[in-house]
Amino acid sequence: MKTLFVIDSSVIGPEYIVKAAKEMNLNVLFLTNLNSQEGDALSQLTSYKFINCNTNSFEELYEIIKTFPKEDIAGVISFLDSKLEICTKLCSALDIKGIDPKIELLKDKAYVNDIIPEFTPLSLSFTTGAIPYSEIKKMLSASQNGLILKPSFAAGAKGISVLEDENDIENIEKLFDKTLPKHLHPDEYVVQEIIDGELVSLEGYVLESKVIPIGVTGRRKTENAESVFIFPYHSIAQKELCKIVQTLVERSGYSRGFFHTEFIVSENQVKLIDCNFGRPGGANITEIIACSYGIEPHSIYRQSMELVLNEKEIIPAAFWGEECKESLGIAYGIPNQDRVLEIKYAENMKSKHTQAQNLGDIVSAMGSSNWSWLGMLSGLREDVIKDVDSIRVKTLHNGWIKPVYYNMELKEPLDYLEKV
């Protein structure tokens, strides 16, 4: 059996990756920095074969993979957004299979804005060594809702800030994220106009340069953190979103692989705000889609792996047009930064629970970014809504509390300060 190298893991995935690989007659070897993995993902990773290493270092990863005979390597992949670019560089240097190399360009928000300007918000790219203060101020004066500052290559709301006035612009250097690793180009940023509308994502994949849609996900946020994922989301027409993604595919030359492209949709416009090519949706979106279509989550992972390694699909495109059930994902956290000691939930829960961080960790307040997630639920809509109400979190300073998440009925976070 050939070896498939998988670099790190997102919040969910290791068990699904291994199961999918077995069906493909492949052995999985995780290359991972255990210090950057947490919760259930860490528990799963350490139960499989892995090498602990610096996954931000191309040189270190290259030297490790180079020790294996080329004929025994199936490929190098990742389902983690921040590791896609390094995967493509490794595959090119080692001349092995992997993620579409166009990802190196598509990871750059500035590049995407440049090639489909008619479908993206007004934006301006720059480096931290040459900040165009006057141009940013002109953008702010012309914008109705302010501006948002984003690292060009980061994801999950990492390093984003809102520019509300000229004082923010004059002090923009204080807003740069000093924790971004070298491979995420910490000196490159994009300023983008904030536009009103609803946040959704189109889930799907590309095969032979053709977009195959799986469905639309409705997304709800608690401040800067995603909190609710609704699938399928019928409030938004899928056709217009597909047209934009197909245009991006044609102009970029992307030919194979998954995407979960984010849009802001209003009554009179649709704007692409993050292309997210190269992998299925993050959080527990894969579980939600699988639940909706009545298939196992690892089948979607296998579909993704077959696309990048063998340029084929095992689930036919026509399948995704069939009727599916309403499913839901909820990511929850805690109201204030605190040390988490225990998580409790009903023993008879029908939905799937994933712990995103380790017990004993100091967890950020929910809303700072997606890294503030403590746990997630996925399943049929009615089951998740019922099950999330049973969750209680024990913290060091506030004892047992209800978690924080976007409440779909109240359309605002729950009263999370209630002690229980």
Between 132 and 206, residue with greater pLDDT? 206
The answer, yes or no, to whether residue 419 has pLDDT greater than 50, is: no
Both structure tokens of 235: 């409030």
pLDDT of 418 = 35
What span, in angstroms and rounded, lies between the C-alpha atoms of 297 and 289?
8
Please, what are the domains in the chain?
2-99 (3.40.50.720), 122-193 (3.30.1490.20), 198-325 (3.30.470.20), 328-413 (no CATH)
The answer, yes or no, to whether residue 415 has pLDDT greater than 90, is: no
Mean pLDDT of the chain: 91
Cα angle: 118, vertex 119, 122; to 5 degrees: 75
Name the DSSP letter for residue 71. Answer: G
Both structure tokens of 86: 């390094």
Q: Are 369 and 357 in contact (CB under 8 A)?
A: no
Residue 288: what are its φ and ψ, rounded to 5°? -65, -45
Q: pLDDT (tens digit, 9 = 90+) per residue, 361-387?
A: 999 999 888 889 999 999 999 999 999
Q: Are 273 and 226 in contact (CB under 8 A)?
A: no
Both structure tokens of 281: 């949706």
Average pLDDT over residues 257-268: 93
Residue 213: what are its φ and ψ, rounded to 5°? -80, 140
Q: pLDDT (tens digit, 9 = 90+) per residue, 324-354?
A: 999 999 999 999 999 999 999 998 999 999 9
- pTM of the complete model: 0.88
